[in-house]
Amino acid sequence: MPYTHILVAVDLTEECNPIVKRGLDIAMTNGAKLSLIHIVEPMAMAFGGDVPMDLSLLQQQQLDQAKERMASLKLKYPELVAGETLLTYGQPRQEIHDKAKEHHCDLIIVGSHGRTGLALLLGSTANDVLHGAPCDVLAVRLKRD
Ligand code: AMP
């Protein structure tokens, strides 16, 4: 069965290029739609919960920056125009699973660094997304320079 809707998770760094390219290749061979998702993690989450200051301005800046980066990614890959661009707040695993279900995606693509040692213990988004995923997951191996 060919895939019909592919969801590519992008962290909006330079590293997302090989993941987007892979997604586009698979979308083309399957005749599938491709959507991008980026999750802005709440600042309080990054600081471990209790932060005694107002982070709303910083969060707005974070969201604005993500919107700009998402727009330039779409400009770079004109084939993406047909797909949706999902930008949400929250925890990447939960948001990726929720949006994949909501948009009836049958393949999620994430990048994977192939961590070893201490980094392996800290976990990866790819590993997180794989557990409990509502559909197939492809982890694209990212090479470090
Ligand atoms: P990491 O394990 O955090 O190094 O990220 C590996 C991959 O997870 C990235 O290449 C993206 O595919 C995905 N990812 C990480 N953070 C996010 C994010 N905030 N939004 C969407 N995808 C993400």
The protein residue with its alpha carbon nearest to ligand 1, atom 23, reads 11
Task: Give average pLDDT by consecutive 10-residue segment, the chain, 145 residues.
Answer: 96 94 97 96 67 76 94 92 90 97 98 74 84 96 76
CATH fold for domain 5-141:
Rossmann fold (3.40.50)
Residue 32: what pLDDT?
A: 96
Q: What is the dihedral of CA 13, 19, 23, 24, to 10 degrees?
A: 70
Pick the atom of ligand 1 nearest to 111's CA: 10
**Whether residue 83 has its Cβ less than 6 Å from ligand 1:** no
The model's pTM is: 0.90
Domain range list for the chain: 5-141
The protein residue with its alpha carbon nearest to ligand 1, atom 16, reads 11
Burial of 71 per CB tally in 10 Å (0-12, 13-18, 19+): exposed
Q: Which two tokens stand for residue 19?
A: 């993941």
What is the C-alpha separation between 87 and 38, in angstroms, rounded? 5
Report yes or no: 83 and 35 within 8 Å, Cβ to Cβ.
yes
